[in-house]
Structure 1
Amino acid sequence: MHLVLAAQPADAAVTGPDPGSGSGPVCAVRVLDERARQGPTPAEVVTRDGLATLVHEAESSTSPPRWTWDDTNRWYPALLTAGERVERCRDLRLAHRILRVSSLAATSDLATSSPSGWDALEHSPVGGAAVVGVLRAPQEESLFDLAAAPRAERERAREKGVPPSGAGADAGLDPVAELAVQEAAVTGSTAPGRLRLLLAAESAGALAAAEMHHAGLPWRTDVHDAVLTETLGPRPAPGRRPERLEALAVRIRAALDAPDSLNPDSHPDLLRAMEYAGVGARSLRKWELERIDHPVVEPLLEYKSLYRLYTANGWSWLDQWVRDGRFRTDYVVGGVVTGRWSASGGGALQLPRGVRRAVQADPGWVLVVADAAQLEPRVLAGLAADETMAAAGAGGDMYAGIVATGAVETREHAKVGMLGAMYGGTTGVSGQVLPRLSRAFPRAMGLVEDAARTGERGGSVTTWLGRTSPPPGQAWDAAQSGALGDGAPADAASLARSSARAWGRFTRNFVVQGTAAEWALCWIAAIRRRLWRLPTAAQPNHGPAPFADRAHLVFFVHDEVVVHAPAALAEDVAREVREAAEEAGRLLFGDFPVSFPLTVATVDSYADAK
């Protein structure tokens, strides 16, 4: 069964039962199988609370529906607050972004039509007020079973006069019509199965992201404060530096023979003082400072490190981002053009190791931390169907396996060479070992080389499931055309070649990083489904329903997950996480023999996981 939620216009007449005082109407419309050639049935009106009840009843049935809505963040948080979890959904905004530019559906009406309000939809921050809307329902389940509009699209939409919007409710969009257009695009694509899997995985990721925000990452504010005090000194008064930073600032001024007014936080002022002192630094980059022999270098490097902690994860961060013993960030699914996630606040994807000491499980619970080993090289082996490279990773450590093939002499050379192949490194050790890797693994190395050449020509590349890279843009076009004219400047050809190579490095990595992001989405989807089927805990945690008595995801970054789990279920959770990784590999690459081993640790504190 497939149910579609759509926002009801504020001035729409309510023709069904009384929605209840102050609750706001939500209308339900059944969408029949299009092959029956019948229109939607009359709307069923339910209250906002009634929607939660309807979701509870539907999710408790033997065949839970697939909920479809304009934006997961506009609907799901309110349901979670009501204690209701959704098993499956279709996020039309995320799906539209993918289908709009996917080369697999390039001839579809969705891809070739003029920009619409769906192109202008942007990520809605999680945690907003519940949306009053229309509930529309089912199409054939067979349509949905499983075995970014990019920024340029949004800009084109704006050029056409389509304003940006946070949700279909505001833009007056019809999700039923959009669902039909999306299904036509998938059905008529060159790889319907892959696209269906991608849309389902992306939508499952949206559910998981909202759930992780709702549940929150367990966070001990007292431990965080102790870490800061130990590292920086006591919390300073407003407008003052912590003691350690102030002491380092004094040493920096003394080393430069600078006045007390020199502010080390001001890069222009600091660089001028360093120039007057004859330090010879053109920037404050760490690698450049480390090459300089001057008394200011040591305190300056330490100052920069501590200042980063103070500004990124200091007391102000703690006050802003941690509530009720939980850190909650707003994950942006597909926030990176390759499909990787980003976060719109709190720096969740870059938590320093020292600060991770504050991430501690609740009493009677543990953190199960798992990360995929050498994910991108393994994905590359699967993408290229390179059996020799896949076999090198069968023993657990792919880099050691590459050494065992005789392709390179050391594990470090294997690692540097593979990173160079995927990211375009052609100098140093990487440049030296790449020819040997190409001879040992011609299919894998050939795939990334082909992707690079496509990018150098200004073409687009596509991930395994169907996410397609954007065009290089106006600056790239100008660089290439600028080298063609008779009166082109002498350095125009060099600029054209440089920009072409740079975009080639992007497309080279896009196919690998993007497909790795697809694997991670499938992994997350499998984990959240498997965790929900585990027994409930006798001792609830301190978080909210519906996860207070269940193992649940609390953190995700690229190839690593953290699960908050009852201590008695730790082994079960670890097993499910590992089996979910195997499931993700099968979903993407079928029976091709590429493995995705995990490093799994059960700890009380996140800092102890590695």
Structure 2
Amino acid sequence: MGYDGSGLVAAALGDDLQPQQLHRSDRVEDLVTSFGAGVRLVWADTGDLYPQLLAAGVRVERCHDLRLCHAILADHDEMLAADQQWRQRHPLPDQEPTLLDDQLTEDRIEFTEVVAEYRRQRAAVDPLPADSDHGPNDHGPNDHGPDDQGHVDQAERIRRAKLRLLLSAESAGALIAAEMAFHGLPWDRDVHDRQLTELLGPRPRYGGRPQKMQQAVDQLTAALEVGAFNPDSPVELLQALHRAGIDVTSTRKWELEQIDHPAIEPLLRFKKMSRLLSANGWLWLDAWVKDGRFRPDYVVGGVVTGRWATSGGGALQLPKQLRAAAQADPGWKLVVADASQLEPRVLAAMARDDRLATAARGNDLYQGLVDAGVVDTRPHAKVAMLGALYGATTGQSGQLMPRLISAYPRATGLVEDAARAGERGEVVSTFLGRRSPLPSESWRELQHFAGSGDASAEDVRRSRQQARDWGRFTRNFVVQGTAAEWALCWMAGLRQRLVDLDPAAGDSGPGDHGRLDHSRIDHDRAHLVYFLHDEVIVHSPAGCADRVAELIKESAAAAGRLLFGDSGVEFALDLDIVDNYGQVS
């Protein structure tokens, strides 16, 4: 076994789930490569351990991330208590040898403990015996054998199979996130600097504001005629606007745009430049781009729906003005794929709504709604569908919703049911079983008080508003969370197809070339470098970029089949093979 400086453990399990002994004298990078295909590493935190292996040139094919799986299972089988007990049993030591030490000198955590923890997690979702030959990466609703105890019905077995797939996908996502940070998105500092200079003015030599920003401030100050103030301070800016007779409640763009005053244009221009400077200016460039690479710092499952977040660098918010700086290396291409209208397609697949699946065939689902005669224009189709997904009940969305409900009762019924459950304070789940959080204690207290007979009319109004707000959250939770699950499966399948791709022959699979070595990092192969909810970027040798695009399509279709079977839904992609990210339309 091995563990890193945080006291985290790793165990290697073969397909028979029997742990393979890791000797103290073994180098972990040699151990991983010696196991061959089919071995699954079980460890506490991929984000802590895997970067060390990647730095040593080692690629892990499969893993089970205990931390991420604990978070998912906490609401299913009291795994939160198990996690607390785990941490109590294994407090983090101050100093321990690292995973990549030549000699693993001391085994303070027994090897059997990580195996036992893995099996406890598996027992929470798998009705098969603990010594079965089915593991968390063997998934699908139909791969269970007979129920030995005869107590688990088919629906429960399917639920557990889905949950096993979710755990497997989440763990695969952790591997992918670490690999994307390791490879990095190729980034040209000179292009970034030229874009900033064009948009903001030259970089100030001794700090301060760039020239064009300062010009906007000077114009703003002159137009307000209220004396000096700091426009970077929302409080001072709002006070200056009030002194100038501009009656606004905030400095938000949508509110300022309603005002007719000569100060508004330079103010909006300044705010736009200020956001760019603070989020992706020269300080960002210095901090986040090293050796020609931007290395995203993703947080897998960082949002309650399962979407990824970032812990720095703003990888999920790269501004369009700077995307041209993401440039492929000479002789390489960026293959950019964006899942078209993913959430409506996911909704159609979840609900098994054949009519909506038919409308989704092709690249433009919204035009499909028009062609079906549900609405008259594409903009109306988009408004209606977004209203169904996010619970808009007023304005144009509210007027169009009855048409959508009539045309697609299964799809709209699914999100309506989720909304009603949320309004009652109930938990809803994604397709694979990630559960929504419960509303706060104060929310539940207000709902209870509003129905007690002692509540005022204002209390009742507030309770109804809170219930509707939470219903909108649960309505979208089931769809957004399932879309995140589809994206995980998409990337996991693509990751495997890319490692099987021969960059010289441009084909996928070992073919006549023999078994490819999946346990070593090969920098000459195409690899994932960026992910944004429903969009991926692969950095590919130019000679196999077309094949990479095909593999991306194959992986999207396979992810749809893996989750939803034969749903009839096409998961369409917008694909571009470009020299830089800014060339994507």
Say whether the fold is shared (TM-score over 0.5): yes
Change (3 A) 1:273 1:340: same
Change (3 A) 1:245 1:172: farther
User: Any conservation in 1 of the 2:9–2:44 contact (CA below 8 Å)?
Assistant: no
Task: Measure how far apart 1:29 and its partner are.
Answer: 8.0
User: Any conservation in 1 of the 2:549–2:575 contact (CA below 8 Å)?
Assistant: yes
Change (3 A) 1:292 1:41: closer
Task: Measure how far apart 1:173 and its partner are.
Answer: 11
Q: Does 1:225 align with 2:193?
A: yes
In structure 2, which of residues 539, 560, 566 is the aligned counterpart of residue 591 of structure 1? 566
In structure 1, which of residues 81, 96, 116 is the aligned counterpart of residue 85 of structure 2? 116
Q: 2:535 is matched with which residue? A: 560
Q: 1:187 is matched with which residue? A: 126
Matches within 5 A, 1:152-171: none
Change (3 A) 1:451 1:173: farther
User: Any conservation in 1 of the 2:361–2:570 contact (CA below 8 Å)?
Assistant: yes
Which secondary structure state, in structure 2, belongs to the residue aligned with residue 463 of structure 1?
Answer: coil
Q: 2:148 is matched with which residue? A: none
Change (3 A) 1:537 1:347: farther
Q: 2:402 is matched with which residue? A: 435
Task: Measure how far apart 1:96 and its partner are.
Answer: 1.3
CA displacement 1:143-197 (0-9 Å, x = unmatched): xxxxxxxxxxxxxxxxxxxxxxxxx999999322211111111113642221121
Counterparts of 2:551 and 2:545, CA distance in 1: 10
Q: 1:13 is matched with which residue? A: none
Task: Measure how far apart 1:7 and its partner are.
Answer: 6.0
Change (3 A) 1:547 1:256: farther
Paired letter, 2:174: A
Paired letter, 1:212: M
Matches within 5 A, 1:68-107: 68-101=42-75, 106=76
Q: 1:264 is matched with which residue? A: 231
Paired letter, 1:182: Q
Counterparts of 1:531 and 1:276, CA distance in 2: 61
In structure 2, which of residues 24, 39, 43 is the aligned counterpart of residue 65 of structure 1? 39
User: Any conservation in 2 of the 1:212–1:328 contact (CA below 8 Å)?
Assistant: yes
Q: 1:575 is matched with which residue? A: 550
Q: 2:468 is matched with which residue? A: 501
User: Any conservation in 1 of the 2:217–2:231 contact (CA below 8 Å)?
Assistant: yes
Matches within 5 A, 1:173-252: 174-188=113-127, 190=157, 191-252=159-220
Task: Measure how far apart 1:354 and its partner are.
Answer: 0.8
Residues paired across the two proteins, number: 535
Matches within 5 A, 1:195-344: 195-259=163-227, 261-344=228-311
Counterparts of 1:250 and 1:374, CA distance in 2: 43
Counterparts of 2:28 and 2:315, CA distance in 1: 32
Paired letter, 2:125: V
Q: TM-score, normalised by structure 1?
A: 0.82
Task: Measure how far apart 1:377 and its partner are.
Answer: 0.3
User: Any conservation in 2 of the 1:5–1:68 contact (CA below 8 Å)?
Assistant: no
Q: 1:160 is matched with which residue? A: none
User: Any conservation in 2 of the 1:551–1:565 contact (CA below 8 Å)?
Assistant: yes
Counterparts of 1:521 and 1:85, CA distance in 2: 19
Which secondary structure state, in structure 1, belongs to the residue aligned with residue 178 of structure 2?
Answer: helix
User: Any conservation in 2 of the 1:74–1:130 contact (CA below 8 Å)?
Assistant: no
Change (3 A) 1:32 1:296: closer
Q: 2:140 is matched with which residue? A: none
CA displacement 1:420-450 (0-9 Å, x = unmatched): 1011111111101100000000000000000
In structure 1, which of residues 47, 56, 64 is the aligned counterpart of residue 33 of structure 2? 56
Paired letter, 2:208: R
Which secondary structure state, in structure 2, belongs to the residue aligned with residue 491 of structure 1?
Answer: helix
Q: 1:550 is matched with which residue? A: 525
Task: Measure how far apart 1:407 and its partner are.
Answer: 1.1
Change (3 A) 1:57 1:413: same
Paired letter, 1:490: A
Change (3 A) 1:510 1:135: farther
Counterparts of 2:103 and 2:388, CA distance in 1: 49
Q: Does 1:396 align with 2:396?
A: no
Task: Measure how far apart 1:109 and its partner are.
Answer: 6.0
User: Any conservation in 2 of the 1:30–1:43 contact (CA below 8 Å)?
Assistant: no
Matches within 5 A, 1:473-484: 473-484=440-451
Task: Measure how far apart 1:478 and its partner are.
Answer: 2.5
Q: 2:509 is matched with which residue? A: none
Q: Does 1:384 align with 2:351?
A: yes
Superposition CA RMSD, Å: 3.0
User: Any conservation in 2 of the 1:117–1:173 contact (CA below 8 Å)?
Assistant: no
Q: Which moved more, 1:553-562 or 1:272-281?
A: 272-281
User: Any conservation in 2 of the 1:78–1:129 contact (CA below 8 Å)?
Assistant: no
Counterparts of 1:204 and 1:511, CA distance in 2: 21
Counterparts of 1:477 and 1:433, CA distance in 2: 32
Q: TM-score, normalised by structure 2?
A: 0.86
Which secondary structure state, in structure 1, belongs to the residue aligned with residue 60 of structure 2?
Answer: coil
CA displacement 1:353-373 (0-9 Å, x = unmatched): 011111000000010000100
Change (3 A) 1:43 1:304: closer
Change (3 A) 1:27 1:243: closer
Change (3 A) 1:492 1:283: same
Counterparts of 1:556 and 1:120, CA distance in 2: 36
Counterparts of 1:560 and 1:84, CA distance in 2: 26
Q: Which moved more, 1:309-318 or 1:186-195?
A: 186-195
User: Any conservation in 1 of the 2:334–2:579 contact (CA below 8 Å)?
Assistant: yes
Counterparts of 1:70 and 1:272, CA distance in 2: 51
Change (3 A) 1:461 1:599: same
Q: Does 1:450 align with 2:389?
A: no
Counterparts of 1:53 and 1:266, CA distance in 2: 55
User: Any conservation in 2 of the 1:8–1:132 contact (CA below 8 Å)?
Assistant: no
User: Any conservation in 1 of the 2:22–2:31 contact (CA below 8 Å)?
Assistant: no
Task: Measure how far apart 1:130 and its partner are.
Answer: 4.6
Q: Does 1:45 align with 2:24?
A: yes
Paired letter, 2:210: P
Which secondary structure state, in structure 1, belongs to the residue aligned with residue 333 of structure 2?
Answer: strand
User: Any conservation in 1 of the 2:4–2:98 contact (CA below 8 Å)?
Assistant: no
Task: Measure how far apart 1:118 and its partner are.
Answer: 5.8
Paired letter, 1:379: V
Which secondary structure state, in structure 1, belongs to the residue aligned with residue 425 of structure 2?
Answer: coil
Matches within 5 A, 1:352-371: 352-371=319-338
Change (3 A) 1:503 1:118: farther
Paired letter, 1:430: S
Task: Measure how far apart 1:41 and its partner are.
Answer: 8.2
Q: 2:130 is matched with which residue? A: none
Counterparts of 1:583 and 1:30, CA distance in 2: 26
